[in-house]
Amino acid sequence: MTADALVAAQEELASARLPPWRPPSGGGAVAGCFVCFGRGRVGPGAANDPGWAAAALLVDGELRVAVTTGRAAAPYVAGLLALRDGPLLEAAVRGLPLRPDVVLVNATGRDHPRRVGLALHLGARLDLPSVGVTAQPLIARGEWPADEPGAHAPLRIGDEVVGCWLRLRRHVRPLAIHPGWRTDLDAAIAVAAAATRDAVTPEPLRQARRAARLARTAAGLS
């Protein structure tokens, strides 16, 4: 609930070492979650901004969606995103009718000043393997991969590999993939690739983003 408490939790999680999770045969039940806030305000985001979070779960080709609304508990501060986004995202995932095998989060994992981005922290909070998927890395750097589906190239902080660029479609910008809670890079790549259909974003994450934004629009905000 405070920045100091979050930093302490991040430092504890950064040193946690649990057995790595492996995707089940057939891919399993993959969820995605996304949160958005009301626009038109000054600055990157203030405490008490109205927010809409959604979680989408694909099981055997069937889509299940849970949407929750609330208020941002904190302003936007880089590296402390769990204070602002975490409670809404947690509520959305917990609102799904079935428990997923793994959750995709629009946030980073080890690509973070304390090596615990929101994708990793949320997975730990939910006790679910997690994978981060973002358009850009946070502080890691790396060259783009070859222009071939499935090509990937490491993202590093110094000499440490914390994620990768993953090309899902030819002639389309790659996504930054982040191992999260109990996932390594191989598992993160496998989950993101298997969950992507015709779009350029993994389908559960795309559907969660769509549901959250539709809920915001229905509330009279765009």
Quote the CA–CA distance of 36 and 26 in Å, as a whole number: 31
Residue at 2 is within a domain: no
Give the distance, in angstroms, between the CA of residue 64 and the centroid of all CA atoms in the same chain.
18
Residue listed under structure tokens 């989060």: 105
Quote the CA–CA distance of 6 and 80 in Å, as a whole number: 7
Q: What pLDDT digit, counting tens, does each position of 139-167 carry?
A: 999 999 999 999 999 999 999 999 999 99
222, pLDDT greater than 90: no
Contacts for 218 with CB less than 8 Å, ≥ 6 apart = none
Residue at 22 is within a domain: no
* Residue 41: band (very low, low, confident or very high) from pLDDT cuts 50, 70, 90: low
pLDDT at 42: 60
Phi, psi of 89 (to 5 degrees): -65, -40
Range of 74's domain? 30-218
User: Angle at the Cα of 192 (from 203 to 54), degrees rounded to 5?
Assistant: 45
Residue at 58 is within a domain: yes
Quote the number of domains for the chain.
Answer: 1
Q: What pLDDT digit, counting tens, does each position of 112-134 carry?
A: 999 999 999 999 999 999 999 99
Residue at 4 is within a domain: no
Q: What pLDDT digit, counting tens, does each position of 64-87 carry?
A: 999 999 999 999 998 999 999 999
Residue at 5 is within a domain: no
Quote the CA–CA distance of 167 and 149 in Å, as a whole number: 5
**Reduced to 3 states, what is the DSSP secondary structure of residue 56?**
strand
CATH number of the domain residue 144 falls in: 3.30.2170.10
17, pLDDT greater than 90: no
39, pLDDT greater than 80: no
- Tell me, what amino acid is at 19? P
Residue at 6 is within a domain: no
Residue at 15 is within a domain: no
Contacts for 98 with CB less than 8 Å, ≥ 6 apart = 29, 57, 59, 64
Give the residue from 101, 133, 102 showing the smallest Cα distance to 117. 133
Residue at 85 is within a domain: yes
